[in-house]
Structure 1
């Protein structure tokens, strides 16, 4: 029986190392998982922002008003049901967009998400109309659930988890 050439042996070893590295990357300890559980029949865009601001009272958002004017509003103004679109957190440390699917779950893995910062979720329709805003502080993985309250209103709940896989 003839042994494989050095070239074949080296190629097999490199291929094996690449496969092992590729399979272990999705399970990196440096990743944070954001899970969106959407129990609605509509799809939404969710943007997760990180802020060093510890309190939701001090958060400021850039919004577009019904008149098309860009302005800055506080967290309380967003809760008043005003019709804003294109809502973004002013001074965000970083952000990631998670598109959702109607009646399904969506997952986003984020590298280097800072565990000591507040995460703010802005939920919008695909026409960029504000649906909800939710603030959570989790040290690692997070899950958001969209449901309908008994009065028919949109509700968001969240939980922190060691793993939401």
Structure 2
């Protein structure tokens, strides 16, 4: 007869092996994003994923200046709001996705194309003129991330969580 302790130990090992296999099989899920628009204008929030913070700093965008001229700007130039409109990434090979959030709407989604250790760069534009309002870089690198932004006329406030507990096992 097999001792009870040996059966419990074997059961625990099987359960632990199952959880590890499930984690490997599921892979690394992308960050979730929640965008709540408290403004009376539509917001266009674009998420770009790059390998690291250095790559984020060197992203190149075509922008429209206050004078109506199109010019190139780096991500570093987008630190300050209100100087540009129609911010468009010109670099190839960068995963990009835009969320359109209407006034009073809350939108939930996932950052497509994200891989473990990637950095997410958000660019928020407001209204039909697509005035640049804010930019933000999130560099968690771990699975189970959650990014939340409140979109307002003066910009966007936000928060993020780098680890979502065991929720990633269920996706």
Alpha-carbon distance in 1 for matches of 2:112, 2:36: 23
Give the deviation of 1:38 after TM superposition. 1.6
Q: Deviations over 1:139-163 (max 9, x none)?
A: 3333122266xxx842332313425
Whether 1:99 aligns to 2:97 is: no
Cα offset for 1:103?
3.5
- 1:32 counterpart = 2:30: yes
Give TM-score scaled by structure 2 length.
0.62
TM-score (norm 1): 0.64
| Residue in structure 1 matched with residue 131 of structure 2 by the alignment | 129
Pairwise CA RMSD: 3.0
2:150 alignment partner, SS class? strand
Consecutive unaligned residues of structure 1, counting only runs of 5 or more, are 1-27
Q: In the aligned structure 1, how far is the partner of 2:114 from the partner of 2:80?
A: 30
Paired with 1:70 and 1:98, the residues of 2 have a C-alpha distance of 23
User: What residue ranges of structure 2 are gaps of 5+ in the alignment?
Assistant: 1-25
Count of matched residue pairs:
135
For residues 52 and 68 of structure 1, do their structure 2 counterparts lie closer, same or farther at Cα, with a shift above 3 Å needed?
farther
Question: Does the 8 A contact of 2:46 with 2:122 survive in 1?
Answer: yes
Matches within 5 A, 1:15-54: 31-38=29-36, 40-42=38-40, 43-54=42-53
Secondary structure of the corresponding residue to residue 72 of structure 1: strand
* Residues 15-43 of structure 1: per-residue CA shift (max 9 Å, x gap): xxxxxxxxxxxxx7554243223251333
